[in-house]
Amino acid sequence: MATYTKDQLDDLFEKADGFCTYGGKKVHRRKYGERHPQGWEVEHGNPLSRGGADDARNWRVACWACNRLKGNWNASEWRYRLREYYGGECPRWYKGEIVKHHP
Ligand SMILES: [Zn+2]
């Protein structure tokens, strides 16, 4: 996994307006990389494991929960699951744990 520069993170975060790309949750710039309801990571829309590129065009802001649960699904597959199982919103947290619904 690549290490991102502060400028790359700032740029990506700004473009996303501070929202998770998938379910629209507001995340905190300073919570980058944290396992936290407002934590976020750089996510590959098309997973590296499926030939996705590790470059800015394939980078997305994803909340920690979306990135954990998305796994090897691509962006549209994950959006489909969010709609199906989470009402289109980012997975919620309960007592420090991501609430999982999808099979
Ligand atoms: Zn999310």
Domain residue spans of the chain? 6-98
Q: Give the H or E element holding residue 41.
A: strand 40-44
Give the Å distance between the CA of 51 and the centre of ligand 1. Answer: 22
pLDDT tens digits along 34-83: 999 999 999 999 999 999 999 999 999 999 999 999 999 999 999 999 99
What's the pLDDT band for 102 if we cut at 50, 70, 90?
A: confident
Nearest-angstrom CA–CA distance, 89 and 93: 12
Give the Å distance between the CA of 24 and the centre of ligand 1. Answer: 6
pTM of the model: 0.93
Give the Å distance between the CA of 65 and the centre of ligand 1. Answer: 6
Give the Å distance between the CA of 26 and the centre of ligand 1. Answer: 9
Q: What is the pLDDT of residue 36?
A: 95
Nearest-angstrom CA–CA distance, 2 and 16: 20
**What proportions of the chain, in percent to the nearest 5, are helix, strand and coil?**
35, 15, 45
Give the Å distance between the CA of 21 and the centre of ligand 1. Answer: 7
Torsion sign over Cα 53, 57, 58, 64? positive
Give the Å distance between the CA of 82 and the centre of ligand 1. Answer: 9
Neighbours of 86 (CB within 10 A): 20
Q: Which fold has domain 6-98?
A: DNA Binding (I), subunit A (1.10.30)
Give the Å distance between the CA of 54 and the centre of ligand 1. Answer: 20
Tell me the average pLDDT across 88-100: 95
